Structure 1
Amino acid sequence: MRKWRAAAKGFIVAVLGVMAFAAPQIAPAGGAKLRLATEAAAPPLNYIGKDGRLAGFDVDIGNALCKAMTVECKWVIEDWDNLVSGLNQRRYEAIVSSLPITGEQQKNVDFTNSYHVMPAAFLGAETLEVLKIDKTTLTDKIIGVEAGSVHEAFLRDNFADIAQIKPYDLIAQATLDLVGKRLDLVFGDRIELEYSFLKTKEGRGFKLVGPSYTDAKWFGAGAGIAVRKGDDALIERLNVALARIRADGTYKKINDRYFDFDMYGN
């Protein structure tokens, strides 16, 4: 999803000075502070709202965790490419920015339990009458996908023998060809497809087709909160807080504010 995020960077730079004051600070009684970093460039996960304040699913989850831990949230906005280095340079204690739990990332940081899945989906024309996705419905279809992504790996592992898989440098290039009727379907990150395409004027006349895909074999263990290597005490506190907001309904309220499906993966 990094390429999707890149489009928002110019706007982020313009408002960084404001955000030091405008980011919402949650301060229950207790006095302790927890510095959390996010990118603020990937709506609806993390972004700057029209009021100039930090917002999004990640931000609301982070604030809820701070409240459950009885600490004050202090938000830091960081460029995606610098999130991990900033953590290890002790500019903040944790990253709440939908960072995927991967073996490569785990060389540099430790993760909490997953707090949301990273679902993939097919995108097609509203007129497409496909009740389910299988080798019958995808036979001879031309499917666009981001080159080198986990989504391309999934397609090649499951449908390379019956469909034509066409990789693109950017998923936006694939959706452009979908609009131009040079593709039958696009496959990619569900949230990206919804918010960078379906919710725009270019996305009129298109829809998500079939189910969401979350199989860990291709799409990993989801997104976790990253902390510095060896900070087991903070991981335990965050995991306890995550379980608490799941149990008391706070997570669901936040989820339903942004999504019409369960981001936790149930």
Structure 2
Amino acid sequence: MNSSKYLACAAFALSSLIGTDGWVHAKDWQVVRIATEGTYPPFSYLQGGELAGFDVDVANALCAKIQAKCEVVAQEWDGMIPGLMSGKYDAIVASMAITEERKQKIDFTDKYYATPARFIAAKDSGITDTTPQGMTGKVIGVQGSTTQGTYLEDLYKDSEVKIYKTVDDAAMDLATGRLDAVFSDAAILYGWLKTEEGSCCDFVGQEVRDDKYFGVGKGIGVRKEDQDLRDKLNAAVKAIVADGTYQQINQKYFPFSIY
């Protein structure tokens, strides 16, 4: 190795160990800071002032497996990846789809769940065809900065796509008749349909699966330089699936497997 390449590699290795206090530290991952959204029930939401939900339970189970203290914090969706890259936290457990676009910036573990996207509409809407042609002229709500939003904007050119801060905001507009449909992750929509507000509506059309937009599932996001943490979390996902912990969490929120 020539001297310039050696110095570059050494500088990169050193930079990955420098803490926020300016001192050099080895990463032992005794404490792992994890970001989730907190407005995405049943995956993450506030309950009694504390973060709860499927993603939060999975995060805590993974930390237990790697014998680390979990610090789960809420982060708005639009700032999720920038916050990880800037060092605000160490990992993202927030139902984030593994996509090629996101992998340009961060790395992911293997999937920890995979569900299709779906449309929901009022029970008396008459909507059965949710293809781009079938939804011509319809007003569709979707959460911004999501794979579902990109999918609609790219393919549903003859529909009016309305962007919302959260899925709940879009769903409430659907319940009050301001939208014809809402498009999101099926598991998220299933949780809302079971609420009093969601009794107005139901799934319409078919499941939507497209690896180009939705990836192969939802993964845990980590910085590219933190391969050791990614490997630990990958092993932990396999462990909680093998020992039944994952299934217990799954059954707490869904009557069907989402793994």
Q: TM-score, normalised to structure 1's length?
A: 0.67
**Which residue in 2 is equivalent to 1:119?**
116
**Which residue in 2 is equivalent to 1:109?**
106
Cα displacement string for residues 68-106 of structure 1 (whole angstroms, at most 9, x for unaligned residues):
22x133214142344444434444432222233233432
Aligned pairs for 1:8-19 (under 5 A) are none
Distance 1:88 1:127, change over 3 A: closer
| 1:47 maps to 2:42 | no
Mapped partners of 1:174, 1:43: distance in 2 = 12
| 1:217 maps to 2:212 | yes
Structure 2 counterpart of 1:169, from 153, 160, 163: 163
Q: Which runs of 5+ in 2 are unaligned?
A: 1-27
Letter of the 2:140 partner, please give it.
G
Mapped partners of 1:60, 1:227: distance in 2 = 18
Letter of the 2:229 partner, please give it.
L
Distance 1:36 1:214, change over 3 A: farther
Distance 1:227 1:186, change over 3 A: closer
Structure 1 counterpart of 2:73, from 49, 72, 77: 77
Mapped partners of 2:79, 2:149: distance in 1 = 26
SS of alignment partner, residue 207 of structure 1 = strand
**Which residue in 1 is equivalent to 2:64?**
67
Distance 1:166 1:242, change over 3 A: same
Letter of the 1:232 partner, please give it.
Q
Letter of the 1:48 partner, please give it.
L
Q: Report the more deviating stretch, 240-249 or 142-151.
A: 142-151
Paired residues in the alignment total 225
Offset of 1:169 from its aligned partner? Answer: 2.7
CA RMSD of the aligned region, Å? Answer: 3.5
Q: Which runs of 5+ in 1 are unaligned?
A: 1-30
SS of alignment partner, residue 108 of structure 1 = coil
**Which residue in 2 is equivalent to 1:187?**
183
SS of alignment partner, residue 41 of structure 2 = coil
**Which residue in 1 is equivalent to 2:223?**
228
**Structure 1 segments of 4 or more deviating over 6 A?**
156-160
Instruction: Compare CA radii of gyration and give the structure with the larger one.
Output: 2
CA contact (8 A) 2:123 2:201 kept: yes
Cα displacement string for residues 6-37 of structure 1 (whole angstroms, at most 9, x for unaligned residues):
xxxxxxxxxxxxxxxxxxxxxxxxx9623132
CA contact (8 A) 2:84 2:222 kept: yes
SS of alignment partner, residue 169 of structure 1 = strand
Mapped partners of 1:225, 1:117: distance in 2 = 12
